[in-house]
Chains A and B, each alone.
Chain A
Amino acid sequence: MTTTQHVLDYAFNQRAILAGAMIGFLNGYLGGYVVLRRAALFAGELSHTLFPGIALGALLAGLNPLSALVGATVMALVVGLGAQGMASGSRLDHNTTLAILATAAFGGGLLVLRHLGLYVRLEDYLFGNILGLSDFDLWFTFGVGLLTMVALLAWQRPLLLFLFSRDVASTQGVSVVRMDFLLAALLVLTMITSLQAVGAILTLGLLVAPAATLYLFLESPRGILWGGGLIGAVVSVGAVFLSNWWNVQTGATIVLLLGGIFVAAYVVSPQYGLLGQLRRRLRPRHGGV
């Protein structure tokens, strides 16, 4: 108890707990869509473009949340659409072009950051610094989170239809192109808010791990979405405490915990896990039709 009280005594810890709950929930919830879309790789490459985007924004308009948001959005669009454009109608596939453009942009971002003398904050951008958040950062996170959640809830039905089958969704009047862009835009927004907490490198784990864990147990998309949000929030808040007690980095603690939970889930899941597979292999199968 005293140690818990000790953690809560500090304003930066209080902000970190609030931020952890919001960012954890947002990532866990949105991550459900990413997992169901099987788009973790795409999200990973997108997260690589955030950092050079922020560097670009800082180069043009100084380092602030707005320039970071605009820069990262522009960079994600340029790299994402550029990769798509280069791949369409050529023998190259989308993953190849995206990998090259995203890493090239990342390299450019490193150089720009050094040029601007912001290199000392590099570690914050890559791995996050949830204890360094200001009140403004919290409000920014809250605003973006609210916007994202409203959009996701409003378009939940067409989004789920689209994730299940583009063909079926399309014949039911869902604009699949619009859904693609909606998800990508919300991903960029969410990743930018998460950058301060878990950084460009680690944000992917926070995004994907909670939903992937539940994907091993649940047969309901809504269960995966809300449950993912819950796991993301609880683990992030827990990690703030643990990292305080152990005196380690919070962002790394969050994704390490989530990774551990995912691996444990993979082992024990009766339907889709390792033990379940072993049990089924040992037992003769019923002739399924």
Chain B
Amino acid sequence: MDAVDPIHAMPHVHETGSDAGPHALAVRGLHVHYGQVCALHNVSFQTCCGRTVALVGGNGAGKSSLMKAIVGLTPSTAGSVWWRGRPLEVRTHEIAYLPQRERIDWNFPITVRGLVEMGRYAHVGVWHKFAAVDRAAVERALSTMRMVEFANRQINALSGGQQQRAFIARALAQEAHVLLLDEPYAGLDQPSQEILTTLLKELAHNGSLIIAAHHDLRSIGGIFDEVLMLNRESVAFGAPRDVMTDANLNRAFGG
């Protein structure tokens, strides 16, 4: 079980302006295999809190595998993930993963507030009382994601964009620094996409690291600071303008 880290019991956790600089996340030489099938081959990149990073690539390029390996859901066969200057060996509440829509049972009898409260599990564990500090974290997360007015709705009675925001609020209540989002824009209409973009940028501005699998190549520049292009191995990593070249796109998607 995760112990409660005294630093993160404080109301705000993302110390972008501290002496140590923003927290860094580094992936070094990561390999992931499912049986004989290679899902990721020697992937490396480094980024830090305060950024928004898009993972792009075709189907089976390893976007989900990379996120699952970072969060520890899928074991890596080689390589390592470094978080805040140390190899990530145990699970930490500082990194949250939001599964794809299809992986969620939307009929589950839970309200938005109940969902966000679940994010506090890393802090209250099996035994601890759900205290005022936990309730405050839940309310703060709801208001950051502008979900207060929907807090008592069942999660299936939300629009797709609201559902994404509810899950992000859960990650915020968890006091995660890194948010791994699997296709957060999938199925959202234009207004919902715009709200989500505003909120993701706001989160990054306040010190979160957003990493999202993304399939709409045209909208990348407007949302993300950095792009990791994958084709089982990393094709390119950097600012969208530098990465989204014809040559790279051909390597990632062509043939």
Binding site for A on B (CB under 8 A): 1-2, 71-73, 91, 93, 95-97, 99, 103-105, 108-111, 114-115, 118, 121-122, 124-126, 154, 159-161, 170, 174, 189, 191-192
Contact = CB atoms under 8 A, between A and B. Distances in A.
A173 interface: yes
A215 interface: yes
Interface stretch (A122-130, A136-144, A161-169): A161-169
A119 interface: no
Contacts of B93: 172-173
Given A171-B96, A172-B2, 14 more contacts: A157-B124, A161-B118, A164-B115, A165-B105, A168-B97, A173-B1, A173-B122, A174-B121, A220-B110, A220-B111, A220-B114, A224-B109, A289-B160, A289-B189
Interface in A110-169: 154-155, 157-158, 160-161, 163-165, 167-168
A219 B157 CA distance: 11
Nearest to B122: A172
B2 A173 contact: yes
A36 interface: yes
Given A219-B109, A224-B109, A289-B189, A165 B99 contact: yes
A170 interface: yes
Main secondary structure of the interface of A (DSSP, over half): helix
A171 B180 CA distance: 11
28 contacts: A36-B109, A155-B126, A158-B126, A164-B105, A164-B108, A164-B110, A165-B104, A167-B73, A167-B103, A168-B97, A168-B99, A168-B118, A168-B170, A171-B95, A171-B96, A172-B174, A173-B91, A173-B93, A173-B122, A219-B109, A219-B111, A219-B114, A220-B109, A220-B111, A221-B108, A289-B159, A289-B160, A289-B161
Contacts of A161: 118, 121
Nearest to B187: A289
A278 B28 CA distance: 56
A221 B2 CA distance: 24
A154 B126 contact: yes
A36 B192 contact: no
A288 B161 CA distance: 11
A218 interface: yes
A173 to B, nearest CB: 5
B237 to A, nearest CB: 24
Contact of A289 (B1, B72, B115, B192): B192
A269 to B, nearest CB: 12
A158 B97 CA distance: 17
B108 A36 contact: yes
A161 B72 CA distance: 17
B192 A219 contact: no
Contacts of B161: 289
Contacts of A154: 126
A172 B96 CA distance: 8
A167 B99 contact: yes
Given A161-B118, A219-B109, A171 B71 contact: yes
Nearest to A170: B73
B236 to A, nearest CB: 28
B69 to A, nearest CB: 12
